[in-house]
Amino acid sequence: MADDGAARQLDKEILSPKPGIQSPAEGGGDFQPRIVGFLCNWCSYAGADLAGVTRLKMPPSMVAIRVMCSSRVDPLFVLKAFLAGADGVLVAGCHPGDCHYQTGNYYTRRRFALTLKVLEELGLEANRVRLSWVSASEGGRFAEVVTEFTETIRKAGPNPAKTEVFL
Amino acid sequence: MTGATIQAKNGVNGAVSAVLKSLKDSGCVDAVLVPTRVKSGETFVYLLIRNPKMLDSCAPLPPVMPVQGARALQSLTRHGKVEQTVLCVMRPCEVRASIELAKRRQVDLENVLFMSLDCPGALRTRDYVNDPEALDKRYQGILNNWEGDGLRPTCETCVHFSCEDVPVDLHVGLVGTKEEEAVIIGVSKRGEELLDKAGIECSEDVSAWQVEVEKARDKKAGNRSKVVSELKDKAAGMDNLGLLFADCINCHNCMRVCPICYCRQCFFDSSDQVRLRAEDYFAKAQARGGIRFPGDMMQFHLGRIYHMGLSCVGCGACEDGCPMDVPVSQVFAFAGDEVQKTFDYVPGRSTDEPIPTLTYEEDELHEYEDA
Ligand code: SF4
Ligand code: SF4
Ligand code: FES
């Protein structure tokens, strides 16, 4: 989201329904969660890739946005995705201690705590955001995180912000 | 703690300006940054005063706070430190905002001294400009009884109205002191030295005042938890938040007058970050049936909570500057309180405490991660 292109990408990815999935405003049937995942380049994105090439089974619910480090994720990114109607937002990076830039993910954790706390305080479904650590070699773990999170979101239902007109 | 009683026959402002004069005359202060009434009489601005005569007409505790003092100090030190000593006379929340700005390297505190006063709150600026005389009277009453109508809503619940947790050099105590009297206290080492050099002997015990401050604080703390829990119920959830901010006209005044919002190019004003192209708005409208213009109202307000909720000092400047009476600072107060508590952070308490998002512990906050 550092430039216009990425900002547009985010809105478009969330808004444009994948083939076979209709937006709720258009009276779509089964609820298919759309999750935006901010994945750090060095660990979680590579982990996602590994999950892909090893053909692990997971729901096709995630739109991945690659960031160079999980600490790049400003709480506003999460907020923007949330208000754009993402049903869930995942922030994922290297395990603490393993950040490519040494300490980035310790800051990520602080920011994420802030992100979550504000949502909680304002009564805004904090269960729709999640912070997970996934290393480059943990393809299996990545698939698990996505599967599990998708289930949580499926239970929670669509993000009401998706149909809000007066935001 | 010890201090000195000062006579306030001509009101607090007269008493404090006399002290300021002796500090200036003693030569240990080169200039004073202090609120002063404008010629038309309707409002107050900060003046950087070098001529001691002009201190006669300054107003250290004006009934309103049209400009947050941290903003004044920020303008003064925009290009770096001041070479000569300047004493800033401010409300406690203005000092705290200055400290927060210093942590963000927007204010340089070298050679800067602070004097604060027990603050009963500030009246709404818009009310004041309409009838300064009547509101001056009302404020006098508020100073005497330590309560009254027409204060900023956040002031009613402010627990930082005295000098505890506020890193000042000098402080003027007013709560519960005899009418026509105030106490001046050298809070820091430098503050003590200043008073000493100005020939103000501080040997009186001020514990009676301290007790009164405690009492007043308990009362305000009670107000605060009550108001916060009420508002929390009223604001919870997207629908309610939408109602709370419904009147917003997107003027972004709240952001411009906020002492903590310092970015010269605001994220929310930047066309690259938040503005989309027509075709994207069409897509959005298609998905939702329709969308609001100007857009991103919620993103702006919640985004500001994210960017500065940790540092919000609860001064109420945003709400005072809002033309639509959106309860901005009240929402900030309750969202801010909680995030500040999460990190055990009190904004403006000390320059030694880093902003929580700019530091970390390796072993912490595990409840927020999923390992
Ligand atoms: S958000 Fe409002 S109350 Fe908080 S510091 Fe800024 S102007 Fe003051
Ligand atoms: S000052 Fe009031 S109307 Fe203007 S943007 Fe802020 S909340 Fe909205
Ligand atoms: S590089 Fe992966 S979290 Fe910093």
pLDDT digits (tens, 9 = 90+) for A96-151: 999 999 999 999 999 999 999 999 999 999 999 999 999 999 999 999 999 999 99
Tell me if B320 is assigned to some domain. Answer: yes
What is the rounded CA–CA span in Å between residue A161 and residue B11?
54
- Mean pLDDT, rounded, of chain A: 88
Q: Residue A86's pLDDT is what?
A: 95
Q: Does A7 score more than 70 pLDDT?
A: no
% pLDDT > 70, chain B: 99
CB atoms near residue B121 (< 10 Å): 24
B143 and B276 within one domain = no
Number of domains composing chain B: 2
Cross-chain residue pair A167–B242, CB shorter than 8 Å: yes
Q: Does B258 score more than 50 pLDDT?
A: yes
Q: Which residues contact B51 (CB under 8 A, 6 or more apart)?
A: none
B282 and B206 within one domain = no
User: What mean pLDDT is predicted for residues B131-153?
Assistant: 94
What is the rounded CA–CA span in Å between residue B322 and residue B328?
8
B302 and B194 within one domain = no
* Residue A56, phi then psi, degrees to nearest 5: -75, 145
Tokens 């006098």 belong to B140
Q: Are A87 and A33 in contact (CB under 8 A)?
A: yes
Cross-chain residue pair A121–B335, CB shorter than 8 Å: yes
Q: Residue B275's pLDDT is what?
A: 73
B169 and B77 within one domain = yes
Least confident of A13-27, A104-118, A127-141, B320-334: A13-27
Q: Specify whether domain A33-155 bears CATH 3.40.50.
A: yes
Q: Are B185 and B11 in contact (CB under 8 A)?
A: no
Least confident of B94-108, B121-135, B275-289, B347-361: B275-289
B349 and B273 within one domain = yes
Q: What atom of ligand 1 comes closest to residue B328's alpha carbon?
A: 2
Helix, strand, coil percentages in chain A from 3-state DSSP, rounded to 5: 50, 15, 35
Closest-CA distance, A161 to chain B, in angstroms, reads: 8
| Residue among B33, B122, B31 at smallest CA distance from B75 | B33
Residues of chain B contacting A144 with CB distance shorter than 8 Å = none
Q: Which of B227, B252, B280 is the last residue of a domain?
A: B227
Nearest ligand for residue B304 CA:
1
Q: Which of B193, B227, B261 is the last residue of a domain?
A: B227
Q: Are B252 and B296 in contact (CB under 8 A)?
A: no
* Global confidence as pTM: 0.93
Mapping DSSP to helix (H, G, I), strand (E, B) and coil, where does residue B36 land? strand
Q: How far is CA B109 from the centre of its chain?
A: 17
How many Å lie between the centroid of ligand 2 and the Cα of residue B160?
25
Question: Which residues are registered as beta bridge partners of B64?
Answer: B123
What is the rounded CA–CA span in Å between residue A69 and residue A65?
11
Q: Residue B294's pLDDT is what?
A: 82
Residues of chain A contacting B370 with CB distance shorter than 8 Å = 130-133, 145
Q: pLDDT category, B281, cuts 50, 70, 90? A: confident
Put simply, whether B305 touches A (Cβ < 8 Å) is: yes
What is the rounded CA–CA span in Å between residue A109 and residue B355?
14
Least confident of A12-16, A127-131, B17-21: A12-16
What range defines the domain where residue B76 resides? 2-227
Mapping DSSP to helix (H, G, I), strand (E, B) and coil, where does residue B247 land? coil
What is the distance in angstroms between the CA of the first residue and the CA of the last residue of chain A? 20
B177 and B92 within one domain = yes
Count the alpha carbons within 13 Å of A93 in the hemisphere toward its beta carbon.
25
Which one of A76, A135, A162 would you mutate to disrupt binding with B, by most B Cβ within 10 Å of its Cβ?
A76
Q: Residue A4's pLDDT is what?
A: 47
Mapping DSSP to helix (H, G, I), strand (E, B) and coil, where does residue B229 land? helix
Q: Are B337 and B310 in contact (CB under 8 A)?
A: no
Q: What is the DSSP string of A70-124?
A: GGG--HHHHHHHHHHT-SEEEEEEPPTT-BTTBSHHHHHHHHHHHHHHHHHHTT-
B348 and B326 within one domain = yes
Q: Which residues contact B233 (CB under 8 A, 6 or more apart)?
A: none
% pLDDT > 90, chain B: 81
- Mean pLDDT, rounded, of chain B: 93
What is the rounded CA–CA span in Å between residue A23 and residue B120?
53
B269 and B137 within one domain = no
B66 and B199 within one domain = yes
B241 and B170 within one domain = no
What is the rounded CA–CA span in Å between residue A104 and residue A109?
9
Mapping DSSP to helix (H, G, I), strand (E, B) and coil, where does residue A60 land? coil
Put simply, whether A27 touches B (Cβ < 8 Å) is: no
Q: Are B312 and B337 in contact (CB under 8 A)?
A: no
Tell me if B232 is assigned to some domain. Answer: no
Q: Does A9 score more than 90 pLDDT?
A: no
pLDDT digits (tens, 9 = 90+) for B81-132: 999 999 999 999 999 999 999 999 999 999 999 999 999 999 999 999 999 9
Nearest CA in chain B to A104: B360
Cross-chain residue pair A97–B272, CB shorter than 8 Å: no
Q: How far is CA B49 from the centre of its chain?
A: 21
Tell me if B191 is assigned to some domain. Answer: yes
Q: Which of B189, B208, B227 is the last residue of a domain?
A: B227
Q: Does B269 score more than 90 pLDDT?
A: no
pLDDT digits (tens, 9 = 90+) for B20-61: 999 999 999 999 999 999 999 999 999 999 999 999 999 999
| Residue among B304, B217, B294, B296 at smallest CA distance from B255 | B304
How many Å lie between the centroid of ligand 1 and the Cα of residue B319?
8
